Amino acid sequence: MITCSAPGKVYLFGEHAVVYGESAICCAVELRTKVSVEKSDENEIIIESILGRTGLDHDTHPYVSYVIEKMRRFADIKGVRIIIESELPVGSGLGSSAAVTVASIQALNHLYECGLSLEGIAKTAHEIEKMVQGNASPTDTYVSTMGGVVMIPQRKKLDLINCPIVVGNTHKFSSTKELVGNVAKLRSDFPSVIEPILYNIGQMSILAEKLVSEGDYKTIGKLMNINQGLLDAIGVGSAELSSLVYAARGSGAISAKITGAGGGGCMVALAGENNAEDIARAIENAGGEAIITNNTKEGVRLESLHG
Ligand SMILES: Nc1ncnc2c1ncn2[C@@H]1O[C@H](COP(=O)(O)OP(=O)(O)OP(=O)(O)O)[C@@H](O)[C@H]1O
Ligand SMILES: C[C@@](O)(CCO)CC(=O)[O-]
Ligand SMILES: [Mg+2]
């Protein structure tokens, strides 16, 4: 068995706007998806995950099924068994699709010695997210591949975020494909209203680049909270997400906003010196599940070559 893992991510700025070429700042977090692969004798494809045990199946395992089909351009993949284990909640804004796609590509890359570079992995994974979702920015898959804090579309590595990150999960499933589609419809219906909002979200990422290098989290927090208001404006908020956002802010979070597609899933808060536990408690009291985590510089990595 060869095992690889890839991290999930949270957006400080720019989700949805980045789909239209505006800037985003996204950071990898210490929550990972592990993918183990081995060749199977019976020339059978087996994919095992929390979603079930299937063969090549674009309904249950669309991302992994496309990975196998894409990787057949580089290797003669006949029978393979793929086992997925993840710390990332599915459909929750933490990049679970990107992490499973990137880790699957890297695991097969090692198993069949395809020689894909990290850039090649990120590019292939982005192609797959676009195939599944209809449209996708390179952000999630690039950050899951490279790790750290990344500015997209510049693909620029920024300093790590030096404060605890508290994630609040509403446990309401949200499909990125659906939310991205909803924003596209709103933008098509009201271009003169929605395009300036997306542009302004991107401008906050550009303002924040210098603030990250200065470690000015207070100002970053103010901009993140404005970003939250603009995400509500384009229709990707929800009552549950707002409840967790305001609970986090009320307990002293530097900032709190939706992360990822929205509609359900997760919000993210930046904690100050010693209040991550307080923020987590406030999120739980508001009906969410809190996860205290940190930014990680580690992108996709080989975990083991056998076992
Ligand atoms: N552990 C897993 N095992 C198998 N498939 C997974 C796993 N995690 C995610 N997926 C795939 O990714 C899909 C969820 O991706 P989606 O983009 O909708 O949400 P997300 O990536 O969690 O959130 P976001 O894209 O907003 O960050 C699942 O429906 C499934 O197809
Ligand atoms: C909503 C979105 O901006 C982020 C999803 O995590 C979609 C994308 O960038 O592909
Ligand atoms: Mg996704």
Helix (H) or strand (E) run with residue 7 in it: strand 2-13
Residue 117's contacts (CB-CB under 8 Å, 6 or more residues apart) are none
3-state SS, residue 26 = strand
Q: Residue 180 is encoded by which pair of tokens?
A: 């991205």
> Using one digit for the tens of pLDDT, what is the confidence trace for 32-73?
999 999 998 788 999 999 999 999 999 999 999 999 999 999
CA of 306 to the centre of ligand 2 (A): 34
Domains and CATH numbers, the chain: 2-158 (3.30.230.10), 165-293 (3.30.70.890)
> Using one digit for the tens of pLDDT, what is the confidence trace for 80-129?
999 999 999 998 889 999 999 999 999 999 999 999 999 999 999 999 99
3-state SS, residue 187 = helix
Q: How far apart are CA 138 and CA 64, in angstroms?
A: 17
Please tell me the residue having the least CA distance from ligand 1 atom 3: 49
- The reply to whether ligand 1 has any atom less than 6 angstroms from the CB of 175 is yes
Please tell me the residue having the least CA distance from ligand 1 atom 29: 91
The number of the ligand nearest the C-alpha atom of 16 reads 2
Which is the closest atom of ligand 2 to the Cα of 139? 9
Sign of the CA dihedral with 235 first, then 240, 245, and 247 last: positive
- What is the value of pTM for the model shown? 0.94
The number of the ligand nearest the C-alpha atom of 130 reads 2
Which is the closest atom of ligand 1 to the Cα of 86? 1
